């Protein structure tokens, strides 16, 4: 039998919170740290032997799986579940605390903007540098060079230092290099979200081509539509553990079900990790609450959607508003609601809180599960964003008649109002 392209056994990664990495970069720093060690030890003893409040944190906990050559696998999970940690270990950026990893084949990784690029070098020079880091010979890179440039669409800036590139240009060129230099294993993180929609589709198409060519693809994304399109199989991580390994659609169901809180339809979101550090600095979503009729835990077909978003202001906000997005099971956006577009905003003082409610009288949604994303804005500027913050269920029961109304297979998520006539 063919050996797995990736074999992970009992993989764990522990970090110590509150302790800064003391890696030495100069002789002076090493000597200074050595001289200061007795002082730090005395301070620790004065605190009763404690290390300043540090505590262990398991980013990954006993994860095992195998991926066959030519297989495309999606890794999904909430923010902080351990997705990026496992990709960094597979890419040999981070060492595991315990467990083993066996990789058979040349790996190309695209984990964050600018990975493997030198900011002072031009785009042209970085293509050759990055290709060399991936183990390619110069002749091999030169043979693929024109294809890489054409795909990246940055030809006009090819002789410009990449430190002057926008994040989107960085990603275009980095992905083009990683995908075109024919690695046996391609690892791609959520970094593609930086690009525009057209380029994202182009990248997904290229990854499909890579998969069809017999190479292995490992893809992390919060976009369930992209996951189900590209990956027949998914790995669902939950709090650092492998919670599901199987067909993509079942994994997506389990992922969305993670958003359902037992005992109610209220989600505490203040502590949820944000994708970008800037989110939540001036305003932060604290809670999202759904309000079905009669206190039920799900809505019925035709029932108005009612929800409330509570947020905390960390700076004075003269015109704060809320954005809500409704997505289907695959992460496709069905509807977006922005309070500021309807003139519904509120002034919020610093360190104060506010709540804005949304009611959708006729949601026109078929029975099924849907997810909600929410954002805080001020004057149209995005201050906080929590994608797929919660999920809710619409039962296949008509609100008015109480009768079963299961839609026909393939009918889609929407039931739009219409009038039929015989012409």
**DSSP annotation string for 14-74:** EEEET-------SHHHHHHHHHHHHHHHHHHHHTTS--SS-EEEEEEEEEEEEE-TT-EEE
Residue 44 region by backbone torsions, left for phi larger than 0, else alpha for psi between -120 and 50, else beta: alpha
pLDDT digits (tens, 9 = 90+) for 80-136: 788 888 988 998 888 999 999 999 988 877 776 556 688 899 999 989 988 887 777
Highest mean pLDDT out of 107-121, 358-372, 396-410? 358-372
Assigned CATH for 266-398:
2.70.50.60
CA distance to 35, 44, 120, 145, 203, per residue, from 141 (Å): 49, 54, 20, 6, 20
* 82 and 139 Cβ atoms separated by less than 8 Å: no
pTM to 2 decimal places: 0.65
The residues of the chain that CATH labels 2.70.50.60 are 266-398
Higher pLDDT, 35 or 210: 210
The residues of the chain that CATH labels 3.40.50.300 are 58-257
pLDDT digits (tens, 9 = 90+) for 210-246: 878 888 999 888 777 778 888 899 999 998 999 999 9
Pick one of 3.40.50.720, 2.60.40.290, 3.40.50.300, 3.30.1280.10 as the CATH number of 58-257: 3.40.50.300
| Neighbour-count burial for 173-205, b at 16+ CB within 10 Å, e otherwise | bbbbbbbbbebbbbbbbbbbebbeeebbebbbe
Using the Cα atoms of residue 85, residue 89, residue 95 and residue 96 in order, give the sign of their dihedral: positive
pLDDT digits (tens, 9 = 90+) for 313-354: 999 999 999 999 999 877 788 999 999 999 999 999 999 999
């Amino acid at each position: 039998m063919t050996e797995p392209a990736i074999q992970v056994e009992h993989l764990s990664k522990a970090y110590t919170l509150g302790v800064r990495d003391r890696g030495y970069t100069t002789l002076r720093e090493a000597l200074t740290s050595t001289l200061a060690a007795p002082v730090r030890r005395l301070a620790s003893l004065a605190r009763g032997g404690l290390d300043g409040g540090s505590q262990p944190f398991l980013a990954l906990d006993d994860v095992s799986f195998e991926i066959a050559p030519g297989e495309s696998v999606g890794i999904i999970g909430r923010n902080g579940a351990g997705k990026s940690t496992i990709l960094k270990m597979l890419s040999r950026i981070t060492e595991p605390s315990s467990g083993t990893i066996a990789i058979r084949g040349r790996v190309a990784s695209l984990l964050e903007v600018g990975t493997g690029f030198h900011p002072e070098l031009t785009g042209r020079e970085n293509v050759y540098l990055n290709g060399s880091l991936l183990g390619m010979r110069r002749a091999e890179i030169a043979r693929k060079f024109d294809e890489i440039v054409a795909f990246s669409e940055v030809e006009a800036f090819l002789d410009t230092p990449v430190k002057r590139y926008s994040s989107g240009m960085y990603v275009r060129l980095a992905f083009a290099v990683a995908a075109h230099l024919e690695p046996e294993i391609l690892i791609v993180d959520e970094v593609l979200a930086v690009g525009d929609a057209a380029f994202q589709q182009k990248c997904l198409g290229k990854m499909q081509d890579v998969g069809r060519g017999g190479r292995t693809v490992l893809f992390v994304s919060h976009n369930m539509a992209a996951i189900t399109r590209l990956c027949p199989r998914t790995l669902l991580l939950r709090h650092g553990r492998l919670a599901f390994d199987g067909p993509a659609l079942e994994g997506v169901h389990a992922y969305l079900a993670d958003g359902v809180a037992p005992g109610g339809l209220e989600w505490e979101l203040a502590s949820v990790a944000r994708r970008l550090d800037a989110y939540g600095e001036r305003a932060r979503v604290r809670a999202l609450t759904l309000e079905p009729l009669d206190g039920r835990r799900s809505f019925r077909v035709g029932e108005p959607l009612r929800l409330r978003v509570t947020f905390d202001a960390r700076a004075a906000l003269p015109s704060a508003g809320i954005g809500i997005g409704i997505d289907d099971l695959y992460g496709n956006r069905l509807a977006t609601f922005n309070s500021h577009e309807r003139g519904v905003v509120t002034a919020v003082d610093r360190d104060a809180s506010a709540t804005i409610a949304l009611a959708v009288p006729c949601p026109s949604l078929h029975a099924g599960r849907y997810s909600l994303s929410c954002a805080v804005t001020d004057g149209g500027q995005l201050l906080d964003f929590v994608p797929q913050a919660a999920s809710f269920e619409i039962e296949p029961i008509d609100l008015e008649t109480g009768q079963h109304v299961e839609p026909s297979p393939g009918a889609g998520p929407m039931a739009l109002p219409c009038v039929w006539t015989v012409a």
